[in-house]
Amino acid sequence: MPDFTPTERTRVRRLPKRAAYDKATVYGILDEGLVCSIGFVVDGKPVVIPTNYGRHDDVLYIHGSAASRMLLALQTGIDLCVEVTLIDGLVLARSAFHHSVNYRSAVIFGFARLIDDPAQKNEALRIITEHIVPGRWDSVRWPSERELKATTVLAIPLHEASAKIRTGPPVDDPEDMSLDTWAGVVPAKLSFAAPIPDEQLSSTVKLPAHVANYTRRRNGHK
């Protein structure tokens, strides 16, 4: 039994061999991603907005200004869809038709609930901060009462989810194998350059390890 029971809308029909419904795969994608795309319906029409997030156990946390239209809409408990995609490579085949992308994507259906309790809110903000920069929380000033009030935090329980993954080389038709066309994969990943200190940073503040060694964890699939 998969961790997530496939439903009418999470069961992958196209290329079902690329599908996964286990938490290790779905959460591996969520944990490596930085930004998710959240879809919801306003006046019967779809809206998709990117936002940061963090995951702990079977809950995804998002946050933003208390004035955010998206968060005001989502906190009423309307249906939402969260999508996270990581690009792993460009797949260059001998035919245009067989070009593809190596990727890992997770799609979640559900609802959000408002986190009202200040201690729970603070903990969710810690989870989001640590998701983006592991080790960061203990070196920053924590949210004040005023800042907590200005921030809306929503929790999205992870119950209905699936992943879709493509890996590996191009798959060409046998009759194309002798073509004089270069074929292969151009590996891709989100990479990080040397940190740029804030111009007003005191020279006595050293670059901490959580910044100097920054990288996204890569669970499971490469």
Question: Considering only residues 29-88, where is the footprint of a second copy by CB under 8 A?
Answer: 34-35, 37-42, 44-50, 52, 64-65, 67-69, 79-83, 85, 87
Rounded distance between C-alpha atoms, residue 151 and residue 61, angstroms:
13
Answer yes or no whether residue 14 interacts with a second copy by CB under 8 A.
Answer: yes
Contact pick of 24, 116, 117, 190 for a second copy (by CB under 8 A) = 190
Q: How many angstroms from the chain centroid is the CA of residue 103?
A: 12
SS3 89: strand
String of DSSP letters for 5-38: ---TTTS--SSGGGEE--HHHHHHHHHH-SEEEE
6: its two tokens = 């496939």
Shortest distance, position 115 Cβ to a second copy, whole Å: 16
Shortest distance, position 99 Cβ to a second copy, whole Å: 6
Burial of 205 per CB tally in 10 Å (0-12, 13-18, 19+): exposed
- CA 143-203-194 angle, 5° bins: 80
Residue 214: Cβ within 10 Å count: 15
Shortest distance, position 26 Cβ to a second copy, whole Å: 15
Shortest distance, position 162 Cβ to a second copy, whole Å: 11
Q: How many residues bind a second copy (CB under 8 A)?
A: 96
Q: Which of residues 129-158 bind a second copy (CB under 8 A)?
A: 129, 132-133, 136-137, 139-144, 147, 151
Contact pick of 96, 119, 145, 217 for a second copy (by CB under 8 A) = 96
Answer yes or no whether residue 203 interacts with a second copy by CB under 8 A.
Answer: no
* CB closer to a second copy out of 1 and 88: 88
> What separation, in Å, do the N-terminal and C-terminal C-alpha atoms of the chain show?
24
Q: What backbone torsions phi and psi does residue 144 show, to the nearest 5 degrees?
A: -80, 170
* CB closer to a second copy out of 24 and 35: 35
Shortest distance, position 2 Cβ to a second copy, whole Å: 20
Contact pick of 211, 218, 219, 220 for a second copy (by CB under 8 A) = 211
Answer yes or no whether residue 159 interacts with a second copy by CB under 8 A.
Answer: no
Answer yes or no whether residue 178 interacts with a second copy by CB under 8 A.
Answer: yes
Q: What backbone torsions phi and psi does residue 180 show, to the nearest 5 degrees?
A: -85, 50
Answer yes or no whether residue 119 interacts with a second copy by CB under 8 A.
Answer: no
Rounded distance between C-alpha atoms, residue 36 and residue 51, angstroms:
6
